[in-house]
Structure 1
């Protein structure tokens, strides 16, 4: 950025700050931050403005690094990207309005306008990039966490484990189910595994294929798989699609499946 603009910003910092603060109050009225208290909002405004002013005379690499650190911190606290982009647009308007009052040479003014535009646009572009990258990382971590939680293998008795499935099963989730299933069978030394599909809304050919694969994999490691939670509408869909689930036992409810599992492991429950 031209030394003249750097000097201009520092020399007119008080005027620019006042104009910027007035415009930031308008930004708040646009429903971005209605739930934020006045104190927090004012403190954040002050920090935001100080950060931008301090970035004026830094080299590009230092400014970009500081901006990334600044952005990461506010992403974690849930501040919307719109606040910062609108705030920077407000700062640009404040600079241009002040420049218009001080500089009367039209050609020079246009040059300075373009310089300010490029500087602010660069900051906004990096903000958008940082926000996008951070949210993608957060989304992927949350997605992985949800996938891990969505396919647990629960030991209920010695030699008997249950895997309750809830929600839609896609290819990625089916792969995770298979991995958790095989690892859990070996870890818990399971003889019988009950796969409960009560919470699976739709069983189509793909879902059935994944379940059959899981059953075959369990059989290969020396355990038996029982499919439970087959509701009437699911049973009808399976028949209509011509899906063959005859290779492993099926039960309508988890309770009936548990009774079969107890029989297969030579156990029974008695009332005392």
Structure 2
């Protein structure tokens, strides 16, 4: 029966894919499928159909390779795992209904085909979910590492003056990375003044403030000064409300003012030059 099902799908592939695309476009929660360029949509649809057929005809190793490749693609396209499982279900429904209409499935062999469809769909759903989950976890992990590295780097802006822009939520894991990069950067760039720019930090609570104070103390221990810049009015209000003590800090509302103060600490200043 596997070969009969595969031959039917291959012989009616264009019509089956057309019906399948129609069902998938009606899944309102998945915008990414509906806005895909036509060429990419058709290419992905045929790849999906080949994946469904491969489970009927190919050996396990070839099928696993195909499903891993497809999982990586749909993760990049932004398909959710729910959408992928619906795609499998809709494809099987279309094949079953069309084979019933053409009386390839009838009352005499109905039970046998139901069993075959179950043997076909259940493994492919389980293996797809597993492959998708592994790909998603790996992708998120790589993105997290990249974002952490990009958002916790010390940038020299003038001789002896460096800036570390902080972006996003600061948790314990990120605080550790910030501390390591900060200390390494101070030594590497021979910085005498470090500006911690929290303009891109959405919330400053007691824990975030504690991490920042620890970072400033560590900077002082290696012989540099630390300044906190980018304190927005709402952040200032939160700090006062929570009773967070930043008395040991020099603070400014903008990075520009912080740079001016840092230059003053290193006996320099910005002057306008007339033509």
- Give the CA deviation at 1:74: 4.4
Tell me the TM-score normalized by structure 2.
0.79
Contact 1:19 1:94 in 2 (8 A): no
For residue 89 of structure 1, what is the aligned residue in structure 2? 89
Note closer, same or farther for the CA distance 1:41–1:249 as it changes in structure 2 (3 Å cut): closer
Aligned to 2:23: 27
The Cα shift of 1:66 comes to 2.4
What are the residue-to-residue correspondences of 1:200-239 with 2, within 5 Å? 200-231=201-232, 233-239=234-240
- Secondary structure of the 1:116 match is helix
Distance 2:238 2:90 in 1: 59
1:132 aligns with 2:128: no
Aligned with 1:155: secondary structure?
Answer: strand
Partner of 1:258: 259
Please identify the structure whose Cα radius of gyration is greater: 1
Which of 3, 6, 14 is matched with 1:7 structurally?
Answer: 3
Q: Provide the residue aligned with 2:146 in structure 1.
A: 145
CA 204–44 in structure 1, closer or farther in 2 if over 3 Å, else same: closer
Cα-Cα RMSD: 3.2
Please give the secondary structure, in 2, of the residue aligned with 1:225.
Answer: strand
- What's the CA shift for 1:270? 3.8
* Paired positions, count: 267
TM-score by length of structure 1 reads 0.80
Question: Can you list the C-alpha shifts for 1:186-211, whole angstroms capped at 9, x where unaligned?
Answer: 11100111223344343322122111
Q: What does residue range 22-171 of structure 1 map to in structure 2 within 5 Å?
A: 22-30=18-26, 33-78=33-78, 85-97=85-97, 98=99, 101-102=103-104, 106=108, 109-171=110-172
Offset, 1:119? 1.6
- Deviation, structure 1 residue 113: 0.9
In 1, are the aligned partners of 2:51 and 2:63 still within 8 Å (CA)? no
> In 1, Cα distance between the equivalents of 2:45 and 2:239?
60
Q: Which runs of 5+ in 1 are unaligned?
A: none
| Cα distance in 2, alignment partners of residues 58 and 51 from structure 1 | 10
Q: Which runs of 5+ in 2 are unaligned?
A: none
Compute the displacement of 1:129 (Å). Answer: 2.3
Note if contact 2:3-2:56 (Cα within 8 Å) is conserved in structure 1: no
Q: Residues of 2 paired with 1:263 and 1:137: CA distance?
A: 47
Q: Retained in 2: the 8 A contact 1:99–1:109?
A: no
Cα deviation, residue 214, structure 1? 0.4
Q: Secondary structure at the match of 1:194?
A: strand
1:220 CA drift (Å):
1.3
